[in-house]
């Protein structure tokens, strides 16, 4: 087997082992810390408050963290590949802005208090899909997608969404302002098991689907014309990839709020370490994003325990510093 593929297997195994260690850490650390021996005993006994904490509180957060971290990383990776722009990530292109606006509108009209908190997730998802459709259809020119136009329209939609959110915040009640602020800072606190399962399924399907386009993304690195010469139907591929990225982002934002920079930090960090072949980058980004978000969640739960920090704050600060450190110390491999 080629050395390259052996390296890839080693990378994936390393990431999987890292994920296992991260999961164990997340299960052990919290309001009450457990040693590995205690954790094993609790899982074996399967009763008591400690087991409830592990199985009903920490484990769902870990599954959600892995799903959302993975989804946002892959979404960022796809969008960077499609636009061939290293600064692009899910939050630049209006998808998350649309989701955030959908949620804020629901809070503004008190729909979460009249129809349940699940309605917030639904509103967020509708908002993200609406933004996706807007970007897509406004970028069509003679049935072909203009990628540069998509980028500009996406950025503008992001700005418009932010402005509308500020407008709604300025005229709503004090209680709604608190709800909006905390939602925009992100949280993995979700008690609905069906929601968590759905997020995991969609995220995993997103991973599988995007892996089918790994070679397409590799070809797109060479430019549109070169990709076409290699037999890639760029128009159709870009449309499908954009939709995959939008669904993954929309789902993540509507369930967990705004957890920024994951889609930027993780793909770029992994490119520095393992190169820019999407056949390894896609699964590595999924695992790397999951590990990152689970670790951020542990920090958010522990730093000012028993209070918790919003996870978006942690991912932004820590991720940003780590990324600047890596970028400044290494030569960036081209996309």
Partner 1 sequence: MDKWILIFFATICIASCTNSEKKEQIGLKKNDIRIVSLVPSITTELVSLGVRDQIVGATSYCDITKQDKKLIVGSATEVNIEKILVLKPDIVFAYELNSEKTIQTLRNNKINVVILEKLESFDDICNHFLKLGEYVGKKNTAHIIIRNCRNKIDSMVNKISFKKQKPKMFFQIGANPIFTVLPKTYMQDLILLSGCENIANGLEHGSVTREFVLKSNPDIIFVTTMGIMGMDEKKNWEKFTELNAVKTRRIFIIESEFACIPTVLAFTKSLEIIFEKLH
Among 8, 15, 22, 30, indicate the residue that binds partner 1 (CB under 8 A).
30
**Which of 2, 35, 170, 328 is in the footprint of partner 1 by CB under 8 A?**
170
Selected from 85, 113, 198, 215, the binder of partner 1 by CB under 8 A is 113
Phi and psi at 145, nearest 5°, equal: -80, 125
Which sign, positive or negative, has the C-alpha torsion 230, 276, 97, 66? positive
Q: Which of 32, 33, 163, 226 binds partner 1 (CB under 8 A)?
A: 32
**49 near partner 1, rule: CB under 8 A:** yes
Q: State the number of CA atoms in the 13 A half-sphere of 271 facing the CB.
A: 24
| 144: CB partners within 8 A, 6+ apart | 235
CA distances from 310 to 29, 92, 96, 303, 324 (A): 17, 21, 17, 11, 22
Can you tell me the distance from the alpha carbon of 113 to that of 118, in angstroms, rounded to the nearest whole number?
10
Structure token pair of residue 295: 């670790």
Tell which one of 142, 174, 329, 331 touches partner 1 (CB under 8 A): 174
Instruction: Provide the minimum distance between the beta carbon of 81 and partner 1 in the complex, in angstroms, as a whole number.
Output: 34
Query: Which of residues 30 and 283 has its CB atom nearest to partner 1 in the complex?
Result: 30
268 near partner 1 (CB under 8 A): no
Residue number with CB closer to partner 1 (54 or 247):
54
Q: What is the footprint of partner 1 within residues 180-239 (CB under 8 A)?
A: 182-183, 187, 189, 191
- Give the residue among 153, 133, 159, 138 at the shortest CA–CA distance from 242: 133
Name the one range near partner 1 by CB under 8 A: 72-80, 134-142, 179-187, 317-325: 179-187
Can you tell me which residue has the tokens 């008190």? 110
Phi then psi for residue 140, to 5 deg, are -75, 130
Span of 45-53, 93-101, 242-250, 265-273 interacting with partner 1 by CB under 8 A: 45-53
Residue numbers of the site for partner 1 (CB under 8 A)? Answer: 30-32, 48-49, 52-53, 56-58, 110, 112-117, 120, 170-174, 177-179, 182-183, 187, 189, 191, 301, 304-308, 310
């Amino acid at each position: 087997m080629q050395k390259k593929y052996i390296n890839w297997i080693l990378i994936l195994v390393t990431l999987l082992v890292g994920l296992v260690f991260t999961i164990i850490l997340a299960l052990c650390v919290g309001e009450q810390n457990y040693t590995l021996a205690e954790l094993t005993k609790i899982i074996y006994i399967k009763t008591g408050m400690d087991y409830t904490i592990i199985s009903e509180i920490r484990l769902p957060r870990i599954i959600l963290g892995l799903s959302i971290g993975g989804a946002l990383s892959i979404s960022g990776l796809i969008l960077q590949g499609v636009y061939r722009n290293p600064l692009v990530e899910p939050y630049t292109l209006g998808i998350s802005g649309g989701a955030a606006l959908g949620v804020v509108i629901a809070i503004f009209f008190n729909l979460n208090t009249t129809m349940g908190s699940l309605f917030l997730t639904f509103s967020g998802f509708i908002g993200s899909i609406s933004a996706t459709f807007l970007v897509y259809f406004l970028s069509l020119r003679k049935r072909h997608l203009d990628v540069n136009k998509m980028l500009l329209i996406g950025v503008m939609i992001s700005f418009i969404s932010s402005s509308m959110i500020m407008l709604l915040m300025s005229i709503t009640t004090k209680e709604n302002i608190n709800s909006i602020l905390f939602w925009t800072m992100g949280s993995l606190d979700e008690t609905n098991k069906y929601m968590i399962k759905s997020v995991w399924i969609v995220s995993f399907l997103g991973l599988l689907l995007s892996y089918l386009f790994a070679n397409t993304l590799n070809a797109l690195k060479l430019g549109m014309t070169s990709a076409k010469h290699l037999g890639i139907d760029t128009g159709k591929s870009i449309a499908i990839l954009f939709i995959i990225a939008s669904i993954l982002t929309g789902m993540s934002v509507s369930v967990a709020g705004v957890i920024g920079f994951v889609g930027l930090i993780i793909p770029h960090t992994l490119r520095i370490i393992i190169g820019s072949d999407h056949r390894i980058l896609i699964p590595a980004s999924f695992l790397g994003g999951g590990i990152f978000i689970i670790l951020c969640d542990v920090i958010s739960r522990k730093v000012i325990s028993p209070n918790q920090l919003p996870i978006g704050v942690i991912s932004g600060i820590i991720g940003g510093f780590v990324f600047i450190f890596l970028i400044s110390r290494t030569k960036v491999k081209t996309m």
